[in-house]
Amino acid sequence: MVARECWCCNVKAQQKPVGSPSRLKLNLIPHLQHLSSTHKGWSLAFVCGECNAHSVGLTSCDDTNDHPDIVTEMIDTGELEIVWHPMGPIGKTYDHVPADIASMADEAHRAHSVGCYRSSVILARAVIEAAAKTKGAVKGNLQQKIDNLHEQGHIRLFVKDAAHGIRDSGNDAVHDLKIVPEKEDSSEVLTLMASVLDDIFITGETLKQMKEKREEKVGK
């Protein structure tokens, strides 16, 4: 049985196949077109185990497994990647991050979840810039702001390098239309973004509060 984060109830729930898969023209699916000479496309309906809403799963299978029963079995065992429709934007909450920045970070995740990788990368870059400003790193370009964050002790060295990675990806996505970020690029950038936010708003803040408490005790 396969599971997906349901577009209707937002729960990661088992999806039960309904009927048999039907043949689908692969050349109609932009991200699967390159497989059309060696693979067959398939479409299958599913019902959500949590809320009963229907979803459609699209997949492709090589020519040697050209039978609905084999495709159903391969879906069940997780051998075939499924592209789900409707896609449901899936965000992420950042509890320890200022609300306006958390909202933008959440939007970056939602863009990623529906395959808008250029948008997620550009938004991640904007998140870093906004986060830098909250710590007074307002001067110069983003590179200087990131360096300033490190110099002021808000982010560690390897996190600084991560932040520069996001900046580079964001710049590429904005300035060079020929560079289209792929899913892996976007995932990586979102992971880096989380590290930067953790350093600035969780680790940094926690250590600062510990230091203040220590100084308070010594003062007494």
Query: Cis (ω within 30 of 0) for the bond into 86?
Result: yes
- Judged by CB under 5 A, the chain residues 9 through 28 that form the site for Zn ion are 9
Among 1, 18, 51, 180, binds Zn ion (CB under 5 A): 51
Q: Closest approach of Cβ 100 to Zn ion, in Å?
A: 31
Rounded to whole angstroms, how far apart are CA atoms 132 and 160? 11
Q: Which is nearer to Zn ion, 35 or 53 (CB)?
A: 53
Phi–psi pair at 173, nearest 5 degrees: -65, -30
Given the rule CB under 5 A, which of 14-22, 48-56, 84-92, 171-179 is the region that contacts Zn ion? 48-56
Q: Quick check: helix, strand or coil at residue 108?
A: helix
Among 50, 147, 168, 198, binds Zn ion (CB under 5 A): 50
Q: Is 6 in the site for Zn ion (CB under 5 A)?
A: yes
**Beta carbons of 200 and 207 less than 8 angstroms apart:** no
Q: Is 84 in the site for Zn ion (CB under 5 A)?
A: no
Q: Is 56 in the site for Zn ion (CB under 5 A)?
A: no
Given the rule CB under 5 A, which of 5-13, 66-74, 119-127, 191-199 is the region that contacts Zn ion? 5-13
Phi–psi pair at 21, nearest 5 degrees: -70, 145
Tokens of 121: 């990368």
- Applying CB under 5 A, which residues contact Zn ion? 6, 8-9, 48, 50-51, 53
